[in-house]
Amino acid sequence: MSLLLAFADEAELAQGLARAMGWTLSLVDVHTFPDGETRLRLPPRLPTHTVLLRGLQRPNDKLAALLLAAAGARELGAQRLSLISPYLAYMRQDIEFTPGEVVSQRHLGRLLAGSFDAVITVDPHLHRVATMDEVVPGRRGLALTAAPLLGGLVVQQVPGALLMAPDEEAGQWVRAAAAAHGLDHAVCHKQRHGDHDVAVSLPDQDVRGRAVVLLDDVASTGRTLVAAARGALAQGAASVDVAVTHALFVGDALQQVRASGVRHVWSTDCVPHASNAVSVVPLLAAALQALD
């Protein structure tokens, strides 16, 4: 029997996954000292195969506890230790864009490879790296995609919708969702001038009278979605909705997206959020069964 370890803020996803696998779930007991350090308590004996669930949204708040929990799990009997990180941070920086920049993907990947035998994630923000095996050298890396799940939701909620990627990077997910459900799709072009300053050009496709659904892997500041939504509505789209894998929505991002004319916002439960509408539990369970 395997054991699933998780933290309290991800208990709902963990409970669903434990039920799907028929595993025992144990929540890591966390005590935070006044100076910000944490004390972790795990079950005193862990089975040979233990799986730790920890998403890395707000990664700087979580990485130390994650690495400590992994080291403790090894000491307590976990000979095969796997990480499920539905949202895996620090993936965008995969090369040195300017001299002296730290390549965060490379170094985080090595840290995780030193702690876990396998790393499973969903729709990681990879660019010049083809597989998760490259991110965690010498370990098993699995990159799952929730795009077909989001496409299924779109078919239910907005039959006949035009799926649109707000930028080229999101094209892979839009194509996967469209192929799974026979949806029309298109890809926008984005120019980024800063973290909060983007320009989006719509594709040469008539959107007049169409229901458009913007589909992306992650919504952070929301500025790309805002620009794409405004552009589609300006060109006569009947409606614009948004479907994303990772609902980060930093600060007032969600309000900005809604203010741009977006009707509905849907996300997976990779990141706990009020917009969660699709569960990745079946996706994660299938990946765990394949690992076994």
Q: What is the pLDDT of residues 92-140, one digit of tens each?
A: 888 888 899 999 999 999 999 999 999 999 999 887 888 899 999 999 9
What are the C-alpha distances in Å from 108 to residues 41, 64, 225, 291?
A: 24, 12, 28, 22
Count of C-beta atoms within a 10 Å radius of residue 195: 10
CATH topology of domain 3-145+279-291: Rossmann fold (3.40.50)
Residues whose CB falls within 8 Å of the CB of residue 34, separated by 6 or more in sequence, listed in order: none
Same fold, 3-145+279-291 and 147-269: yes
- Encoded tokens for 219: 């919504």
Active site residues: 190
| pLDDT tens digits for range 49-65 | 999 999 999 999 999 99
pTM for this predicted structure: 0.93
Q: Can you count the helices (H) and strands (E) in the chain?
A: 9, 16
Domain ranges, ordered by start, for the chain: 3-145+279-291, 147-269
Name the band, by pLDDT with cuts 50, 70 and 90, for residue 190: low
CA atoms within a 13 Å half-sphere pointing along the CA-CB vector of 173: 32
- Encoded tokens for 40: 């972790």
The CATH classification number of 147-269 equals 3.40.50.2020
